């Protein structure tokens, strides 16, 4: 953030005059003082410009490769042994977000490897994902996967091959 703040001129933020004009006009209309403006580049993950760029990339992928084949959600579990084994006595996962995010990132990287290199669902022709944080602070990823036309899931028997659900025992 410090680099972005100190290097606005090198990041060509002068190209975003319409953004600064809009902010100044809105501040003027609402009688609100403006501090120093810092424009985040689209490479800043999670920024509105980054999300818009990801959306446009996704739409271009759909245009080129067709509709996505699978929508996968991966959610972080604070009870994963890699997290719970490294908590001190009295600590909970929401106190150690550094640990939670590192474990989640490692598991997400492994899932991506399984999807693309191991090709557990078939040959992947396009993949896009985003990471978000739930209100509890736990990360989760939404993954859109476009498979090669020969590897797409076509009927219910194939769906049942990949999807299952277990209802856990009721806790007492």
Please write the tens of the pLDDT for every residue from 2-16: 776 676 666 665 556
Q: Is residue 35 part of a domain?
A: yes
Distance separating alpha carbons of residues 125 and 118, to the nearest angstrom: 14
Query: Distance between the two ends of the chain, CA-based, in angstroms?
Result: 48
- What is the H or E stretch that residue 43 is in? none
pLDDT of residue 99: 92
Q: pLDDT averaged over the chain?
A: 84
Phi, psi of 25 (to 5 degrees): -65, -45
pLDDT greater than 60 at residue 133: yes
Lowest mean pLDDT among 16-20, 34-38, 63-67, 161-165: 16-20
User: Which of 149, 37, 137 is CA-nearest to residue 95?
Assistant: 137
pLDDT of residue 120: 92
Distance separating alpha carbons of residues 87 and 96, to the nearest angstrom: 8
Distance separating alpha carbons of residues 19 and 169, to the nearest angstrom: 54
Lowest mean pLDDT among 14-18, 21-25, 65-69: 14-18
Q: Provide the Cα torsion 167, 169, 170, 172; round to 10°.
A: -160
Q: Are strands 70-75 and 124-133 parallel, antiparallel or unpaired?
A: unpaired
Q: Count the domains in the chain.
A: 2
pLDDT greater than 90 at residue 26: no
Q: Are residues 22 and 57 in the same domain?
A: no
| Total-model pTM | 0.71
Confidence of residue 59 (pLDDT cuts 50, 70, 90): very high
Phi, psi of 40 (to 5 degrees): -80, 135
Q: Are residues 68 and 23 in the same domain?
A: no
Q: Are residues 53 and 22 in the same domain?
A: no
Lowest mean pLDDT among 9-23, 39-53, 101-115, 117-131: 9-23
The whole domain housing 20 covers 1-39
Lowest mean pLDDT among 20-24, 84-88, 132-136, 139-143: 20-24
pLDDT of residue 12: 60
Q: Is residue 167 part of a domain?
A: no
């Amino acid at each position: 953030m410090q680099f972005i703040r100190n290097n606005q001129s090198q990041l060509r933020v002068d190209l975003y005059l319409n953004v600064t004009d809009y902010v100044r006009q809105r501040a003027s209309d609402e009688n609100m003082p403006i501090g120093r403006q810092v424009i985040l580049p689209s490479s800043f993950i999670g920024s509105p410009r980054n999300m818009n760029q990801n959306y446009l990339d996704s739409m271009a992928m759909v245009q080129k490769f067709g509709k996505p084949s699978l929508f996968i959600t991966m959610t972080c579990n604070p009870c994963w042994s890699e997290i719970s084994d490294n908590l001190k006595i009295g600590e909970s996962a929401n106190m150690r977000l550094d640990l939670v995010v590192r474990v989640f990132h490692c598991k997400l990287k492994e899932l991506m490897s399984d999807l693309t290199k191991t090709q557990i669902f078939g040959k992947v022709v396009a993949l896009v994902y985003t990471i978000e944080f739930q209100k509890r602070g736990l990360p989760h990823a939404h993954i859109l996967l476009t498979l090669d036309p020969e590897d797409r899931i076509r009927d219910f028997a194939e769906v049942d091959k990949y999807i299952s659900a277990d209802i856990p025992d009721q806790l007492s």
